[in-house]
Amino acid sequence: MAYRVLKRTFALDDEYVEDLKADLIDAKRLAVDEDGKVMVWTGGTTVVSSQLSVARSSQPPASQTSDSGLRTPDAKPQTLDARLEGERRQLTVMFCDLVDSTVLSTHLDPEELREVVRAYQETCTGVIRRYDGHIAQHLGDGLLVYFGYPAAHEDDAQRAVRAGLEIIASLQTRGLSTLSVHPLQVRIGIHTGLVVIGEIGSSEKREILALGETPNLAARIQGQAAPDEVLISAATYHLVEGLFACEDRGRPELKGISTPLTLYRVVKEGEAQNRFQVVARKGLTPLVGREHEYGLLRERWERVKDGAGQVVLLSGEPGIGKSRLVEALKDTVMHEGAPCLELRCSPYAQNSALYPVIGHVQHMLHFQADETPDNKLEKLQHTLSRSRFPQADTLPLLAALLSLPHPAACPPLSLSPQRQKEKTYEAIVAWLCEEARQQAVTYAWEDLHWADPSTLELLTRFLAQVPTTRLLVVLTFRPEFTPPWGVHSYVSQLTLPRFSLE
């Protein structure tokens, strides 16, 4: 193998390559040098793993990380070929560490300490798993987490930041502080960059290696974070810009890092829920092409205004322009003074029953994050009192759905879980249809490929009501989703093709 390839594949510096040559060629006599350019392997099929396990340049500097997933101290020997098959890819790496864990250990008895650490790790693991992150290594009380390996997503940076914020919030609300003298806090550092990653080890123990500067930088950034802070590099920031409110933290000196890096503290989630909304806020470029599709949507909207409810299924690959088309329809509809309501499924809530529906109801009720549950209940009660759909049990059912206290004036619900679910669906469908009582309305249900089963069940019931209402319901989804609804005269199917180059 050429030294240049070796250096690039494992992000080795010149000095380390020299050490490697000295060890493998001169000391162990497992390889020979050719023209100073190529190392030819002569030592059979195995190589001692520590030889190539980690580029010295990628070794995290803090003592706590010396044993991280970047190193494989106890990895068994394996083939050189397997090592060199390392895959080059972009990865978002998160380091999360417990603040003052030594102080904690002096204030708690070992039993309590074990309980606290276990609860802390459970909290982190739960959150990370939900965002499909991979815990590469437990580093004492710290965690080394990969977003983008083994499973890659289009939004790994976003997932990492969301996970970071949620770990902090979950630790604060889980009440772990009641057990310990100090409230449990963490520091979180995140960076996105290229790594070489690959699985190594024997059948008994397999480990994942991320080689390169990226994990090293993430560790350094974490070291700069204050307690309960998510600190991200400029590279990660550019991938999540607009989705989170961030504060520029300048370019602090990071030990061992020669190029200064701008860091950002993530303050909170932003208003935009996805990249499309970020772009939309900056101003959309005019709609290009799609005359046929846009024409069909407009024509269906005209039918709806004449009293014939319509459903349009809008499918297509990621980024093909589904949301852009919905936005164009929204412009038209809102220009006419008609409401355009939105329900969005989320890749992070596919296992959270009725997530998009609950989000929509909360939005309709103008709930604020810092509002008390009693206030929210009052808003719900007030809104329902103005509606005309049948309301037996509606208030307590929707209060339960929104995790609000049971209304004092209502008798307790004495329904079986199945019956309660049925009646909740009925109440929501009635409410959604109620919106179209006075005028024609458009509903866009976006990204159904991420819908949870309960949402689809409710949607099916809602769609059955559409023909007799003044509703235009547009459903968007990617090709992996197969609509479970049969063919009906009021349902149209549109698949967005790619633009041809002609």
Ligand X SMILES: Nc1ncnc2c1ncn2[C@@H]1O[C@H](COP(=O)(O)OP(=O)(O)OP(=O)(O)O)[C@@H](O)[C@H]1O
The interface with ligand X within residues 431-450 (CB under 6 A) comprises 447
User: Out of 162, 187, 220, 322, which residue is the one contacting ligand X (CB under 6 A)?
Assistant: 322
x-marked contacts with Mg ion along 307-326 as a string, rule CB under 5 A: ---------------xx---
x-marked contacts with ligand X along 275-314 as a string, rule CB under 6 A: -x--x----xx-xxxx------------------------
- Please answer whether residues 128 and 146 qualify as being in contact, where contact means their C-beta atoms are separated by less than 8 angstroms: no
User: Out of 175, 318, 390, 497, which residue is the one contacting ligand X (CB under 6 A)?
Assistant: 318
Choice between 284 and 410, CB closer to ligand X: 284
State the minimum distance, in angstroms, from the CB of residue 459 to ligand X: 18
272 binds ligand X (CB under 6 A): no
Phi, psi torsion values for 76, nearest 5 degrees: -80, 160
CA atoms within 13 A on the CB side of 18: 3
What is the dihedral sign for C-alpha 163, 169, 170, 172?
positive
State the minimum distance, in angstroms, from the CB of residue 403 to ligand X: 29
Give Dmax over CA atoms of the chain in angstroms: 89
State the minimum distance, in angstroms, from the CB of residue 452 to ligand X: 18
Q: What is the DSSP letter of 407?
A: P
Choice between 286 and 412, CB closer to ligand X: 286
> Token pair for residue 49?
């793993």
User: Out of 12, 39, 93, 320, which residue is the one contacting ligand X (CB under 6 A)?
Assistant: 320
Choice between 105 and 273, CB closer to ligand X: 273
> Token pair for residue 300?
């269906």
With b for 16 or more beta-carbon neighbours within 10 A and e for fewer, the 199-226 pattern comes to ebbeeeeebbbbbbbbbbbbbbbbbbbe
- Please answer whether residues 76 and 204 qualify as being in contact, where contact means their C-beta atoms are separated by less than 8 angstroms: yes
Region of 199 please: left (phi>0), alpha (psi -120 to 50) or beta.
beta
State the minimum distance, in angstroms, from the CB of residue 495 to ligand X: 11
User: What residue is closest to ligand X based on CB?
Assistant: 321
State the minimum distance, in angstroms, from the CB of residue 321 to ligand X: 3
Q: How far apart (Å, rounded) are the C-alpha atoms in residues 248 and 231?
A: 10
Cβ-based neighbours of 119, under 8 Å, separated by 6 or more: 174, 176, 179
Choice between 322 and 330, CB closer to Mg ion: 322
Choice between 279 and 400, CB closer to ligand X: 279
H or E segment to which residue 152 belongs: none
Out of Mg ion, ligand X, none, what residue 318 binds, judged by CB under 5 to 8 A for its kind, is ligand X
330 binds ligand X (CB under 6 A): no
State the minimum distance, in angstroms, from the CB of residue 293 to ligand X: 9
Out of ligand X, Mg ion, none, what residue 150 binds, judged by CB under 5 to 8 A for its kind, is none
Nearest of 99, 111, 258, 234 to residue 168 by alpha carbon: 99
- From 69-77, 96-104, 225-233, 321-329, give the range in contact with ligand X by CB under 6 A: 321-329
What is the dihedral sign for C-alpha 345, 346, 351, 357?
negative
Out of ligand X, Mg ion, none, what residue 284 binds, judged by CB under 5 to 8 A for its kind, is ligand X
Out of Mg ion, ligand X, none, what residue 285 binds, judged by CB under 5 to 8 A for its kind, is ligand X
The three-state (H, E, C) secondary structure of 478-495, written as one string: CCCCCCCCCCCCCEEEEE
Choice between 193 and 316, CB closer to ligand X: 316
User: Out of 60, 193, 321, 359, which residue is the one contacting ligand X (CB under 6 A)?
Assistant: 321
What is the dihedral sign for C-alpha 249, 255, 261, 266?
negative
Nearest of 227, 230, 231, 220 to residue 254 by alpha carbon: 220
Find where tokens 């950002």 sit. Answer: 264
The interface with Mg ion within residues 319-358 (CB under 5 A) comprises 322-323
Out of Mg ion, ligand X, none, what residue 279 binds, judged by CB under 5 to 8 A for its kind, is ligand X
x-marked contacts with ligand X along 230-269 as a string, rule CB under 6 A: ----------------------------------------
> Token pair for residue 268?
């909170």
Tell me how many residues contact Mg ion (CB under 5 A). 2
What angle separates helix 355-364 from helix 417-434, to the nearest 10 degrees? 50
- From 19-27, 248-256, 319-327, 352-360, give the range in contact with ligand X by CB under 6 A: 319-327
In the complex, the residues that contact Mg ion under the rule CB under 5 A are 322-323
In the complex, the residues that contact ligand X under the rule CB under 6 A are 276, 279, 284-285, 287-290, 316, 318-324, 447, 478
